[in-house]
Amino acid sequence: MEKYTPMLATNHFRNNSDHYTRVTAQLSATRQKFTDSTIGEKVRLLQKSHAFAVLSVQTPVSAHETAFRNLFANGLPLSEQEIRDSINMVNYYKNKASYIWDSLQKGRSWEKAANLLTNRKFDEAHRYILDTFKGVGPAKSPFVMSMLGFTEKMCIDTNVAQIAEIEPPKTVVVQKYENIVEGIKNQFKTLAKETGSSFLFQWALFDYKRGDLSNHEVFYREMGII
């Protein structure tokens, strides 16, 4: 592939405008569903998003999404062993099964995260998820939020870090993380402006770097959006 440039990244977004319009619609619909849900349903949506984030770590998209579909094929898993059996195609599946099982036991903690999101306290939610739930680091904790339509946040994954020519952030200070986000946006100013949100900006960069279009339809089907 040609050298990654801001112009080519913007052209990728423009040339696939219909795709990103659909992505924007599904993100908006998911956020609305979260907003309209009971606290119990918000917890379940967050737990599923956490599982999706955990499964994505250092795992190809195809295996990651297959595992997610298997994991919830029969409703919420009933044991850690059941989780292991569902996700054994992903890297580090035993550790990930432990992290997901731990999340499923922490409904009360997820209630606090849900209330922070409902009250638009996004930085506090980012920090709380990072501190409280296993398997999601500085970048993947905001991914839990953004997949549910809280597009104010983005995940600086390996693809985004590579295209921005930076090291994946290890800081656990949310403001420092957001400063890194702004630095990446400054490298791709036109794309950042045209995408209009941090997460859609990341989604477009992720696709551009991989030379593909992703829709995460497995996740949004489980959300009941598509």
Q: Tens of pLDDT along the chain (226 residues)?
A: 457 899 999 999 999 999 999 999 999 999 999 999 999 999 999 999 999 999 999 999 999 999 999 999 999 999 999 999 999 999 999 999 999 999 999 999 999 999 999 999 999 999 999 999 999 999 999 999 999 999 999 999 999 999 999 999 999 899 999 999 999 999 999 999 999 999 999 999 999 999 999 999 999 999 999 8
Q: Does residue 215 belong to any structural domain of this protein?
A: yes
Residue 73, classed as helix, strand or coil, is strand
Q: Does residue 171 belong to any structural domain of this protein?
A: yes
Q: Does residue 114 belong to any structural domain of this protein?
A: yes
CA distance 174 to 101: 26
Q: Does residue 86 belong to any structural domain of this protein?
A: yes
Residue 125, classed as helix, strand or coil, is helix
For residue 175, CA distances in Å to 71, 110, 123, 127, 150 come to: 34, 22, 8, 10, 17
Q: Are 202 and 160 in contact (CB under 8 A)?
A: yes
pLDDT of residue 4: 85
Angle of helix 198-210 relative to helix 17-36, nearest 10 degrees, comes to 140
Residue 115, classed as helix, strand or coil, is helix
Q: Does residue 134 belong to any structural domain of this protein?
A: yes
pLDDT of residue 1: 46
* pTM for the predicted model, two decimal places: 0.96
Q: Does residue 1 belong to any structural domain of this protein?
A: no
The number of distinct structural domains making up the chain is: 1
Q: Does residue 169 belong to any structural domain of this protein?
A: yes
Q: HSE of 143 in the Cβ direction (CA atoms, 13 Å)?
A: 26
Residue 212: which domain range? 6-222
DSSP classification of residue 167: P
Q: Does residue 183 belong to any structural domain of this protein?
A: yes
